[in-house]
């Protein structure tokens, strides 16, 4: 009877172990599916970030290293022959947990001692990655030794992606500002530019008045330049400056240049300045 009881207990123990193994396998499969979904989401997100950065680079005239790779060339981050070449910026490169790619989550900045995904041959030194933000500022825990948890690495990669999004939004806000008086409103910028050119036109008008006083320039020429020539030159100059340096790097293709405002400022400033000069000259006499 004791032999039968021992056999029954052993059978129950084996059945319990089998059920535990099946439950563990199901849990591992579920975890693997979750990790795969997280990897796919992060891959798409990083790809979109790379495309946005490429667009910004092309807009401001900076050559992007993430553009199309010529045929036969080795793309950046590709592994050696026989190794997977995956990176978050290449969706078709089979990037995923444990693939051995250089662009895995373990290769994130601030994790130089983690080599779960990188494959470095004998006699080769690991490639240093540029660090734009320190790990402490990004809220990433300090490097640790020991076995790497894929879920932890994905969480770190997600944090770095959030940091990249934040900096990308700051870059887009800065890129939407023009180079000329970036903190000013468009109307205030246009008014300042037209006033500046009108001031230059007034100085030129005073020079013509002095030249007319000594007989170098006739009165008709002085009136023509004062009423039409100099104001038109000032307005065209302000229009061109606003079109060249008042345009943001991204956003509106044609910046607001307020031609009516420019006409009023330029075509009124020069004649009014001449009238003021005459009144001042008569008052001094």
Q: Where are the domains of the chain?
A: 41-53+100-109+145-175, 186-284
On whether the pTM is more than 0.85, the answer is: no
pLDDT surpassing 70 at residue 269: yes
Cβ neighbours around 241 below 10 Å, total: 18
The first and second tokens of residue 83, run together, are: 């190794």
User: What's residue 188's pLDDT?
Assistant: 94
pLDDT tens for 129-161 read 344 444 445 454 554 555 678 888 888 988 998
Q: Which residues of 41-56 are buried (b: 16+ CB within 10 A; e: fewer)?
A: ebbebbbebbeebbeb
pLDDT greater at residue 196 or residue 172: 196
pLDDT surpassing 70 at residue 228: yes
Cβ-contact 178, 257 below 8 angstroms: no
Cβ-contact 88, 103 below 8 angstroms: yes
């Amino acid at each position: 009877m004791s032999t039968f009881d021992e056999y029954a207990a052993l059978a129950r123990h084996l059945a319990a172990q089998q059920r535990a193994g099946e439950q563990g396998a199901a849990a591992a499969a579920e975890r693997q599916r979750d990790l795969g979904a997280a990897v796919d989401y992060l891959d798409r997100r990083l790809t979109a970030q790379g495309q946005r950065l490429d667009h910004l680079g092309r807009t401001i005239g900076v050559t992007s290293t993430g553009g199309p790779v010529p045929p036969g060339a080795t793309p950046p981050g590709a592994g050696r022959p026989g190794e997977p070449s995956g990176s978050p910026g290449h969706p078709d490169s089979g990037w995923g947990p444990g693939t051995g790619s250089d662009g895995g989550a373990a290769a994130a900045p601030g994790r130089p001692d983690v080599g779960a995904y990188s494959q470095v041959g004998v006699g080769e030194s690991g490639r240093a990655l540029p660090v734009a933000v320190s790990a402490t500022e990004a809220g990433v825990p300090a490097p640790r030794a020991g076995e790497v948890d894929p879920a932890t690495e994905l969480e770190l990669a997600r944090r770095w992606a959030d940091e990249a999004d934040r900096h990308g939004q700051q870059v887009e806000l800065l890129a939407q500002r023009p180079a000329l008086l970036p903190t000013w409103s468009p109307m205030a910028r246009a008014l300042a530019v037209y006033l500046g050119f009108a001031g230059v036109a007034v100085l030129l008008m005073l020079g013509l008045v002095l030249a007319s006083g000594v007989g170098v320039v006739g009165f008709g020429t002085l009136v023509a330049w004062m009423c039409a020539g100099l104001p038109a030159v000032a307005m065209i100059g302000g229009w061109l400056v606003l079109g060249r340096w008042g345009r943001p790097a991204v956003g509106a293709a044609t910046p607001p240049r307020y031609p009516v405002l420019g006409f009023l400022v330029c075509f009124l400033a020069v004649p009014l300045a001449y009238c003021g000069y005459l009144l001042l000259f008569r008052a001094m006499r």
